Amino acid sequence: MAQAIQGPLDETVFSDPGWAVRNGWGCLHINSILHYFGSSPFMDPTSNNRVLMVQAQSNQDTWNRIIDYQRFEATLRGMQGIEYVVTGTPQQLNAQGEDTGIWVIRKQNRRKRPGAQDEVTTLGTYYIVGENIYQAPSVGDVLNHRLLTSTTAFSKFVSLASSLPLFTPATGHTYLPATYKPATKTIDPARSRATTPGLEPPPSSQASISQPVAGKPTPKITATDARTLFDSLALSLRYGHEFMDENPLKGEPGSFHFSATSQAVYEQRLQRERAAQAAAAAAAAAAAQSAPSTQGSQPGSQVQSAVGTPMRDEGRDKPSPGRKGSEGKPKAKRRKSKAPTSPSTPIAA
């Protein structure tokens, strides 16, 4: 008789090691596996298998049909209702005859249709591993468990990762262990809390007043940290020149793809650099051509101003005009007389 088990069947394991010997089967094989399954609480008491097993206790013909699996299955096909059939047998592992010892039994509902094939609906699947019987969970239970496991792991990851990233304008986003975070600074009691800082005692008095600071444990750098740093530097050197705006992603979630290949992006960047260099060279050449004309115009203006403005001495050295066709003699230069000085006053040389 099947034992009554408390709790969900998909969380139950049934095993009866001495069943095959007690019932004269010797071991579990294709003819006895359904009878062993019938001794477990997994078999529905209203199923066709259970009805035939009960009838076989008082009917020899029925017993002869259910002790052979081929005849047992043929009898079940001729009936309508819930039935259990073997859909998987143990697979042989080697030439010595060892097998996996795994049986697969399916629970299904058969409905007869006149003039057509029977309609068979699967209701459940069971596994027999050795002498242990398990009920396979439903697809909904599997998805629920997987989603719950993934959500729990992701929640732990988010809570752990939220304390790791640091951002500064100089370095950007960095991810360091929590031990590398600087401690929160507190306000020095010697400094005024007002807008204007108060007077501070000299360093010697501060050292005597302040409490001794406990030494912070120095974080240890392991081989894994060094390897992670090396990999980060390698990735930075390899992909540091790539930008999302140059090669954006296209598509939908699950089918993302880059808009261009890395080689095409590199060639476009190289063309832009060459165009920028050519423009800079053209601007430099234009500036070099305009420089001589500017320099040549400046000395000319200086010469014109020098020629256009006569010197005072030029009018003096120029001879005065005489008669027509003759030149007058230049005037004799006379030395102006100076007042006599005292003999005791030396004259500056």
Tens-digit pLDDT profile for residues 107-153 = 999 999 988 899 999 999 999 998 999 999 888 888 999 999 999 99
Kindly state whether residue 84 falls inside one of the protein's structural domains. yes
Q: Which of 12-21, 118-127, 143-152, 330-339 has the lowest mean pLDDT?
A: 330-339
Q: Which residue has the higher pLDDT, 333 or 53?
A: 53
Q: Would the pLDDT of 9 be above 90?
A: no
Instruction: Say how far apart CA 48 and CA 108 lie, in whole Å.
Output: 11
Q: Is the pLDDT of residue 243 over 50?
A: yes
Between CA 298 and CA 288 the distance in angstroms is 16
The pLDDT, as a whole number, for residue 303 is 44
Q: Look up the CATH number of the domain holding residue 36.
A: 3.10.450.580
More confident residue, 265 or 214: 265
Give the range of the structural domain holding residue 117, as residue numbers without chain letter.
9-136
Listed in sequence order, the residues at least 6 apart from 114 whose beta carbon sits closer than 8 Å to its beta carbon are none
Question: Of 75, 102, 136, which one is at a domain's C-terminal end?
Answer: 136
pLDDT digits (tens, 9 = 90+) for 252-277: 777 788 888 878 888 888 898 999 99
- pLDDT for residue 264: 85
Domain boundary among 136, 167, 201: 136
Question: What pLDDT does 315 receive?
Answer: 46
Token couple for 174? 């960095």
Question: What's the whole-model pTM score?
Answer: 0.44
Lowest mean pLDDT among 144-153, 239-248, 335-344: 335-344
pLDDT value of position 215: 58
Q: Under 8 Å CB-to-CB from 118, ≥6 apart: which residues?
A: 77, 80, 110, 111, 112
For residue 54, the tally of other CB atoms under 10 A from its CB is 12
Asked, for residue 13, whether it belongs to a domain, the answer is yes
Whether 193 is covered by a domain: the verdict is no
Q: Residue 333 domain-assigned?
A: no
Residue 134's Cα: distance from chain center in Å? 40
Q: What is the share, in percent, of the chain residues with pLDDT greater than 70?
A: 69
Residue 206: the pLDDT is 47
User: What percentage of residues in the chain have a pLDDT greater than 90?
Assistant: 33
Last residue of a domain, one of 89, 105, 136: 136
What SS3 state is found at 303?
helix
Average pLDDT score over residue span 44-63: 92
Higher-confidence position of 234 and 301: 234
**pLDDT at residue 305, as a whole number:** 46
- 139 vs 322, higher pLDDT: 139
The pLDDT value recorded for residue 139 is 86
What single string gives the DSSP state of each residue in 190-249? TS-SSSS------HHHHHHHSPPPPPPPPPPP-HHHHHHHHHHHHHHHHHTT--TTTS-E
The answer to whether position 75 is within a domain reads yes
Q: What's the confidence (pLDDT) of residue 209?
A: 47
Task: Evaluate whether residue 309 is within a structural domain.
Answer: no
Q: Does residue 158 sit within a domain?
A: no
Count of domains observed in the chain: 2
349 domain residue, yes or no:
no
Residue type, 52: L
